[in-house]
């Protein structure tokens, strides 16, 4: 690439717990697509960056942030000497990863839109010859094509007029680098040369084991955890094959959730929202996939701490989930009781009630243990098993906080 | 014939790839409580020979095979399904290996989460049209009383019973989420209905068998009268239901719950637990999908309790549960594997009767060999052979290394057991431990494929020696009398492929060196294989298992223990005193060193 691609990557070692489709940094995305052609240099923030004097540069925050331009996270046409100024300012806003490229002078009418996505029946291409448009607002200007098997690149080249070799390179990235989605906007083509002014790539985290060093967790920007508890659970998640997720919604809410199961947790959270208690939900999350007693304890501890920190006057803890297929109710409940025991006097003082609904292996023993613990310590709201509807505990909890 | 018809006709053989004991046991319990034969034929797992599981209250050993190619002939014809519990990174290749080995098989369940999208789309391309594959991810599928392929419906016996999985009914449960499949199955039983089948599609982005295919199964299934469906935000599968209904392909009543209204409480769309559970475009929201379903007549309420009411309204058929006693399944305890029982007190032989000695029917070594094999020797030929082998192997003089060690230890004042053990610990590849290795060689050789000379070339590459061939003292023209005596057993057999192969190897090796004759280890191994095969009915794989367990070395260790003890007792009787090497043997250096 003669121009516009001298990228400099200012990286940090923060990384993200991998799951499903995750976004790569722009630097890594372009490096993978353009390969040898991308003459970027990867540097640490503290390293000196050498550019030809007088070169006009583009500096951007590179952390998977959407709408960077609107947020003022892109500096266009700056001199190398100005880089520290912008980085200092963005660093004070909590950003740590940046990309620098030489400015690529072009006209707006040259800009095109291109995206490719892996779909059930092959690959889906979206292309607009007219750049800078919102493709959702102008579907009539978008070429849409799904193709599979041999000759995908040829079909896409014919449909778009884009160089076939470039499209083939992109498709190779899907085949060997586990790309799931790529969006290049804008894209400029001059003859056989292709210029990626901006590129976003989602990779399939499940393929990480087979990409060698093409990309790794360090190429996936970490979202700044909004809350310390989220960061703690994210760190815990990295150490276990079980699934542990936590998002803090409203720190001063009345309802706190210890939910289990990917689907069941949504049903229970739905019920609270449908009962008009959406703004009373303190957190969303789930534990599933057979966590151990110790892992469940560490997870529950975070949720209980959130609940205790809430300034709401009436507070409830909902421990609920579907009828598990193989997660042992007895073991996971023992972990939750461990966490409750640590804070039992503060929970009592705050007048917290605990509402439970759960089914699955070892259900009877697990529920009996939980019921007797809650009863003994004056925390009992209600305890239900698989013979009661999954939403009963959250319904009771909503009645309690609204009552 | 549809898949469900075939299953109801009794085609239900399962092979498992990988080991997930909880799930495998739950399938066996399901079969047992349903009053059926075991559906699981075996487990393909490297490094294991068998896995201990329960059939009802009793333990048994489920066989394991190294690969799909090693599944024995007697099972192959019954294989219909794969339960794949391998990790995400192995799921693809193991599924392909299964269908290559069993192209006629009907389907599979892939349990792993984290199967790469690229693998899933390849599976769809290869098998999407021809096989029924639940997953990747999720809990599989179940046809009541007949087939449980996965964790679906629970893993403990209490769950199987309360979910009424042994009784066939008329409601089909279809769900993306594994946990909610369990919830819906539980709800169907709670509504006093029974399942026609339940199918968990899995929460991954690219399930191999898509929702529309499962719904077509339900539509074509005469037992299914209504469908209960659980879906989530993310993806556009629910629009397939809309299409099927609009095109008249799906006419049976559907009750549906689409979870994910909670997403509207977040500022940005959130990635929920399942890979697909993320709203990318507006039509993927729970609200949009729910409304689209309602518009074409699906009962898709806002709340889950309302959904349960809708589920109760689905048509039901009469059913009768056959009462089963799950109590014996709840109090099971694993044991340590041992098929060796203490001597049977009822069958102690009569040694002396009416003051006269009763000539024993079989000798000590026959009884011992039967114990080692785990079943008695039945043929007089094999009894005589093992008797002969043992007799010949008791001792070979005091100058062989094991006997030397025994004697030295005894002379150092150690007790009988210590002295014996020091001799036994000498047994290995160069002394006495060759019978088993030789058995392995003859097993391989007699299988064919290589001529004796090719075999010798291969086995001796890199300077290796062929165990069972060669002797320090005896050579061509001066045969080992023990080998000559044992070889006579071959004349009693109809065929002796292992012995023949060993002799053909000898014919090659003596061409190189006259001392490379078939030795006593080699001939013992060869004839033991031929005799067990012909006289005791051992199959090739059983013989391989004996070799892997080192049975053939026991034929040396046992009589030679007697030999060692004879030397030890002799040393003690004569009080030989502490042994040390003569001084003139010590302190020599390799040539060239100072």
Q: Where are the domains of chain A?
A: 13-35+107-219, 38-102, 228-402
What is the per-residue pLDDT across B488-542, written as a single tens digit (0 to 9) for each? 899 999 999 999 999 999 999 888 888 899 998 999 999 999 999 999 999 999 9
pLDDT band at B462; cut points 50, 70, 90: confident
User: Do β-strands B356-357 and B254-259 pair in parallel, antiparallel, or remain unpaired?
Assistant: unpaired
Give residue B116's pLDDT. Answer: 94
B274, B376: one domain: no
Domain boundary among B300, B319, B338: B319
CA distances from A213 to A106, A210, A218 (A): 34, 9, 11
Superfamily grouping for domain A13-35+107-219: ATP-grasp fold, B domain (3.30.470.20)
pLDDT band at B220; cut points 50, 70, 90: very high
Mean pLDDT along residues B257-267: 87
What are the tokens at B223? 């037992």
> From B275, which residue of chain A is nearest by alpha-carbon distance?
A20
Three-point CA angle B245, B164, B187, nearest 5°? 50
> What CATH number is associated with residue B297?
3.40.50.261
Mean pLDDT score of chain B: 89
What is the per-residue pLDDT across B414-459, written as a single tens digit (0 to 9) for each? 999 999 999 999 998 778 888 999 999 999 999 888 888 899 888 8
Q: Is B274 a catalytic residue?
A: yes
Statement: residue B343 has pLDDT above 70: no
Which of B85, B92, B137, B179 should we substitute to test contact with A (largest number of A Cβ atoms within 10 Å)? B179
What is the per-residue pLDDT across A49-98, written as a single tens digit (0 to 9) for each? 666 667 788 888 888 888 888 888 999 988 888 888 888 888 888 888 88
B549, B487: one domain: yes
Mean pLDDT along residues B215-225: 95
Statement: residue B178 has pLDDT above 60: yes
B384, B475: one domain: yes
> From A267, which residue of chain B is nearest by alpha-carbon distance?
B259
Q: Which of A164, A173, A158 is nearest to A192 (CA)?
A: A164
What is the per-residue pLDDT across B128-160, written as a single tens digit (0 to 9) for each? 999 999 989 899 999 999 999 999 999 989 999
State how many domains chain B has: 2
> Which listed CATH number (3.40.50.261, 1.20.120.330, 3.40.50.970, 3.30.70.250) goes with A228-402?
3.40.50.261
Residue A80 gets which letter from DSSP? G
What are the tokens at A251? 């720190």
Of A17-26, A259-268, B251-260, B294-303, the range with the lowest mean pLDDT is A17-26
C-beta of residue B450 within 8 angstroms of C-beta of residue B493: no
What is the per-residue pLDDT across A192-221, written as a single tens digit (0 to 9) for each? 888 898 899 999 988 888 888 888 877 887
Phi then psi for A284, rounded to 5 degrees?
Answer: -125, 150
Would you tell me which residues 358-387 of chain A have a C-beta closer than 8 angstroms to some C-beta of chain B?
359-364, 386-387
C-alpha B364: how far from chain center: 34
Mean pLDDT score of chain A: 86
Of B25-29, B36-40, B305-309, B363-367, the range with the lowest mean pLDDT is B363-367
Phi then psi for B276, rounded to 5 degrees?
Answer: -85, -15
B247, B292: one domain: yes
Of the candidates B156, B270, B304, which has its C-beta nearest A271's C-beta?
B304
CATH topology of domain A38-102: Dna Ligase; domain 1 (3.30.1490)
Q: What is the ipTM of this complex?
A: 0.85
| Radius of gyration (C-alpha) of chain A in whole angstroms | 26
Give residue B549's pLDDT. Answer: 92
Contact B321/A at CB under 8 A: no
Give residue B409's pLDDT. Answer: 94
pLDDT band at A18; cut points 50, 70, 90: very low
Which of A120, A255, A281, A291 should we substitute to test contact with B (largest number of B Cβ atoms within 10 Å)? A120
Give residue A279's pLDDT. Answer: 87
CA distances from B489 to B381, B533, B536, B539 (A): 8, 14, 15, 20
B549, B432: one domain: yes
Is residue B333 included in any domain, yes or no? no
B447, B390: one domain: yes
Of A43-47, A48-52, A245-249, the range with the lowest mean pLDDT is A43-47
Give residue B443's pLDDT. Answer: 95
Give residue B2's pLDDT. Answer: 85
Instruction: Mark A15-50 as b/e (b = at least 16 C-beta within 10 Å).
Output: ebbbbbbbbbbbbbbbbbbbeeebebeebeeeeebe
Mean pLDDT along residues A101-130: 90
Q: Which of B406, B347, B334 is nearest to B376 (CA)?
A: B347
B98, B208: one domain: yes
B414, B286: one domain: no
pLDDT band at B335; cut points 50, 70, 90: low
* B7-13, long-range: CB < 8 A, 24+ apart: B7/B143, B7/B146, B7/B147, B8/B143, B8/B146, B10/B146, B11/B80, B11/B106, B12/B36, B12/B39, B12/B80, B12/B81, B12/B146, B12/B147, B13/B39, B13/B41, B13/B75, B13/B78, B13/B79, B13/B80, B13/B81
Of A172-186, A327-341, B108-122, B254-268, the range with the lowest mean pLDDT is B254-268
Contact B181/A at CB under 8 A: yes
Is residue B330 included in any domain, yes or no? no
Statement: residue A3 has pLDDT above 80: no
Of A78-87, B53-62, B308-317, the range with the lowest mean pLDDT is A78-87
Q: What percent of chain A has pLDDT over 90?
A: 48
B109, B161: one domain: yes
Q: Which of B259, B246, B261 is nearest to B212 (CA)?
A: B246
Give residue B23's pLDDT. Answer: 94
Cα distance between residue B434 and residue B512, in whole Å: 21
Q: Which of A337, A318, A329, A330 is nearest to A382 (CA)?
A: A318
What is the per-residue pLDDT across B560-585, written as a single tens digit (0 to 9) for each? 999 999 999 988 887 777 887 766 55
Q: Please state, as a whole number, how many other Cβ atoms lie within 10 Å of the Cβ of residue A158.
A: 12
Is residue B329 included in any domain, yes or no? no
Of the candidates B109, B269, B274, B498, the residue annotated as catalytic is B274
Domain of residue B73 covers 3-319
């Amino acid at each position: 690439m003669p121009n516009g691609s001298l990228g400099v990557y200012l990286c940090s070692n923060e990384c993200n717990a991998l799951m499903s489709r995750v976004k790569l940094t722009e630097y890594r995305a372009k490096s993978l697509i353009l390969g040898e052609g991308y003459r970027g240099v990867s540097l640490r923030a503290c390293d000196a960056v050498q550019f030809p004097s007088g070169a006009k540069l583009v500096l951007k925050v590179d952390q998977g942030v959407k709408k960077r331009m609107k947020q003022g996270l892109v500096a266009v046409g700056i001199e190398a000497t100005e880089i520290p100024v912008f980085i200092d300012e963005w660093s004070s806003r909590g950003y740590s990863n940046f990309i620098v490229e030489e400015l690529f002078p072009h006209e707006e009418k040259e800009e095109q839109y291109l995206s490719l996505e892996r779909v059930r029946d092959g690959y889906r291409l979206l292309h607009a010859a007219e750049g800078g448009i919102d493709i959702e607002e102008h579907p009539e200007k978008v070429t849409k094509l799904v193709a599979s098997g041999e000759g995908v690149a040829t079909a896409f080249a014919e449909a778009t007029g884009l160089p076939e070799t470039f499209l083939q390179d992109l498709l190779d990235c899907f085949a060997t680098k586990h790309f799931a989605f790529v969006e290049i906007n804008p894209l400029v083509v001059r003859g056989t040369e292709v210029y990626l002014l901006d590129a976003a790539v989602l990779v399939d985290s499940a393929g990480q084991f087979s990409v060698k060093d093409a990309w790794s967790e360090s190429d996936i920007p970490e979202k700044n955890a909004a809350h310390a508890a989220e960061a703690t659970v994210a760190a815990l998640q990295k150490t276990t094959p079980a699934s542990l997720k936590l998002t803090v919604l409203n720190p001063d809410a009345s309802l706190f959730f210890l939910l289990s199961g990917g689907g069941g947790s949504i049903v229970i959270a739905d019920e609270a929202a449908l009962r008009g208690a959406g703004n009373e939900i303190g957190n969303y999350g789930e534990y599933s996939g057979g966590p151990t007693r110790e892992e469940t304890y560490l997870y529950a501890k975070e949720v209980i701490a959130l609940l205790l920190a809430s300034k709401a006057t009436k507070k409830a803890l909902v421990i609920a989930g579907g009828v598990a297929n193989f997660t042992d109710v007895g073991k996971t409940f023992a972990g939750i009781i461990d966490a409750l025991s640590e804070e039992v006097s503060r929970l009592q003082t705050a007048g917290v009630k605990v509402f439970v609904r759960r089914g699955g292996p070892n259900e009877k023993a697990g529920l009996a243990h939980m019921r007797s613990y809650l009863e003994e310590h004056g925390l009992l709201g209600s305890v239900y098993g698989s013979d009661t509807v999954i939403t009963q505990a959250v319904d009771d909890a909503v009645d309690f906080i609204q009552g | 014939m549809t898949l469900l018809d075939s299953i109801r006709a009794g085609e239900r053989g399962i092979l498992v790839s990988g080991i997930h004991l909880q799930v495998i046991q739950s399938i066996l319990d399901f079969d047992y409580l349903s009053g059926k034969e075991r559906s699981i034929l075996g487990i393909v797992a490297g490094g294991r020979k068998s896995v201990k599981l329960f059939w009802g209250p009793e333990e048994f050993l489920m066989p394991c095979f190294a690969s799909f190619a090693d599944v024995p002939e007697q099972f192959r014809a019954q294989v219909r399904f794969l339960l794949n519990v391998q990790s995400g990174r192995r799921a693809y290749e193991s599924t392909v290996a299964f269908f290559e080995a069993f192209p006629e098989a009907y389907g599979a369940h892939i349990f792993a989460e984290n199967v790469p999208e690229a693998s899933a789309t390849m599976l769809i391309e290869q098998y999407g049209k021809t096989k029924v594959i639940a997953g990747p991810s999720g809990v599989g599928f179940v046809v009541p009383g007949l087939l449980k392929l996965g964790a679906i419906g629970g893993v403990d016996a209490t769950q199987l019973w309360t979910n009424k999985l042994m009784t066939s009914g008329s409601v089909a449960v279809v769900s993306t989420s594994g946990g909610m499949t369990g919830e819906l199955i539980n709800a169907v039983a709670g509504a006093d209905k029974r399942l026609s089948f339940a199918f968990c599609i899995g929460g991954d982005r690219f399930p191999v068998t898509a929702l529309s295919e499962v719904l077509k199964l339900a539509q074509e299934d005469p037992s299914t009268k209504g469908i209960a469906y659980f879906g989530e935000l993310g993806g556009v599968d629910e629009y397939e239901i809309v299409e099927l209904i609009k095109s008249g392909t799906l006419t049976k009543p559907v009750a549906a719950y689409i979870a994910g209204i909670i997403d509207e409480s977040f500022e940005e769309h959130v990635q929920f637990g399942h890979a697909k559970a993320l709203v990318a475009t507006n039509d993927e929201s729970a609200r949009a999908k729910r409304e689209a379903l309602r518009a074409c007549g699906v009962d898709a309420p806002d709340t889950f309790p309302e959904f349960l009411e809708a589920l109760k309204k689905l048509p039901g058929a009469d059913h009768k549960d056959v009462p089963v006693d799950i109590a014996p399944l709840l109090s099971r305890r694993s044991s340590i594997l041992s098929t060796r029982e203490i001597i049977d007190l009822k069958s102690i032989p009569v040694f002396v009767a009416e003051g006269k000695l009763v000539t024993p029917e079989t000798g000590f070594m026959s009884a011992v060999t039967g114990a080692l094999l785990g079943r008695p020797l039945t043929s007089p030929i094999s009894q005589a052979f093992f008797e002969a082998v043992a007799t010949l192997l008791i001792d070979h003089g005091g100058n062989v290394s094991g006997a030397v060690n025994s004697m030295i230890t005894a002379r150092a004042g150690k007790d009988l057991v210590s002295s014996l053990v020091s001799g036994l610990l000498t047994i290995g590849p160069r002394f006495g431990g060759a019978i088993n290795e030789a058995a392995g060689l003859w097993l391989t050789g007699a299988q064919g494929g290589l001529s004796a000379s090719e075999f010798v070339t291969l086995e001796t590459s890199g300077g290796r020696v062929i165990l069972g061939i060669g002797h320090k003292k005896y050579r061509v023209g001066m045969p080992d009398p023990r080998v000559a005596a044992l070889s006579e057993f071959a004349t009693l057999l109809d065929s002796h492929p292992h012995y023949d192969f060993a002799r053909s190897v000898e014919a090659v090796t003596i061409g190189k060196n006259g001392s490379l004759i078939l030795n006593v280890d080699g001939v013992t191994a060869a004839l033991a294989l031929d005799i067990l095969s012909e006289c005791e009915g051992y199959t090739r794989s059983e013989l391989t298992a004996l070799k892997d367990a080192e049975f053939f070395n026991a034929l040396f260790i046992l009589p030679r223990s007697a030999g060692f003890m004879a030397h030890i007792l002799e040393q003690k009787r004569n009080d030989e005193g502490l042994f040390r090497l003569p001084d003139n043997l010590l302190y020599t250096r390799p040539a060239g060193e100072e």
